[in-house]
Amino acid sequence: MRFWPLLAVASLAMAAPGGATVAAPAPTLIAAGDVASCQSQGDEQTAKLLRRFRGTVAVLGDTAYERGTDEEFRRCYAPSWGRERVRTRPAVGNHEYRTAGAAGYFRYFGAAAGPAAKGWYSYRLGSWHVVVLNTNCSIVGCGPRSEQYQWLRADLARSRARCTLAYGHHPRLSSGFHGPDATVVPLWRLLYARRADVVLAGHDHHYERFAPVDPAGRPDARRGIRSFVVGTGGRSRYPIVRYLAASRARNWETYGVLVLRLLPGRFAWRFVAVAGSGFRDAGQARCH
């Protein structure tokens, strides 16, 4: 599948002094989860990739191992991915909650992590509506009676964007060690009902792309959500242990980041692996 040819014309027009029209770069999201550990050099390798791209950095949870303490953020995360903190919009993972209330995470990221102690928020990126979820459902709740569910329903109802992307830590579908997570289904139902286009997650330490599916994981080419597992931020790698029918690309042998260009009415993706890897995955699709 082609990626960079699309980007050659993937720009937004804007007026320059004198009335001329120049091309502005398409909004970019650079994403991966399961990132930093003082016991691994993988996060230093992927941090080098971040510096190759302008745009917003989306951390998909499990930011600083093993417990997300203040010291681990300072010693393990700050020297690598922490250099990009000013442009980072994070999601909280399960390892952060090994410190009570994920306090180290919320202290480190501050307002960039959304309302204190909640872990869910949304923002605009170009013409796209971007939703960040707290998928630690056993802790904060994801069901219809939960605060997060009610917030998401209202947030999506307010949005007038044609294209919507969401990300959190736990994947609805995964062929990896942890596998599919049914606890996020209520949130997926809301996203599906509002015709969301893309969902990103980490948790399993591999890369995987899925065909569009409904919340039950059934193929739905017309209005299904296209999802990615990007647990390749650098902590470690987990093997593929099953092969889900909707899986379209997967690799557990390399670290890397997913780069998405978010254009009006469409998007393009490219998995960028660290030096020495031959794995590639790229493509493009239109919003619903």
**Separation of alpha carbons 215 and 223, rounded Å:** 11
- Per-residue pLDDT reduced to its tens digit, 113-161: 999 899 999 999 999 999 999 999 999 999 999 999 999 999 999 999 9
Give percent of the chain with pLDDT exceeding 90.
91
Decide if 112 contacts 146 (C-beta within 8 A): no
Q: For 203-217, give the DSSP string.
A: SSSSEEEE--B-TTS
Question: pLDDT at position 25, please?
Answer: 75
**Separation of alpha carbons 119 and 238, rounded Å:** 26
Identify the structural domains of the chain with CATH numbers, from first to last: 28-286 (3.60.21.10)
Q: Which residues pair with 261 in a beta bridge?
A: 28, 268
Question: pLDDT at position 18, please?
Answer: 47
pLDDT at 8 over 70: no
- Per-residue pLDDT reduced to its tens digit, 156-178: 999 999 999 999 999 999 999 99
Question: pLDDT at position 270, please?
Answer: 98
Phi and psi at residue 77, to the nearest 5°: -95, -45
pLDDT at 22 over 50: no
**pLDDT confidence band for 206 (50 / 70 / 90):** very high
**pLDDT confidence band for 24 (50 / 70 / 90):** low
Question: pLDDT at position 150, please?
Answer: 98
Question: pLDDT at position 151, please?
Answer: 98
pLDDT at 59 over 60: yes
**Separation of alpha carbons 78 and 84, rounded Å:** 9
- Per-residue pLDDT reduced to its tens digit, 209-238: 999 999 999 999 999 999 999 999 999 999
253-269 average pLDDT score: 98
Q: What is the mean pLDDT of the chain?
A: 93
**Separation of alpha carbons 23 and 123, rounded Å:** 23
pLDDT at 19 over 90: no
- Per-residue pLDDT reduced to its tens digit, 242-254: 999 999 999 999 9
* pTM, to two decimals: 0.93
Spell out the SS3 assignment of 24-90.
EECCEEEEECCCECCCCCHHHHHHHHHCCCCCEEEEECCCECCCCCHHHHHHHHCCCHHHHHHHECC
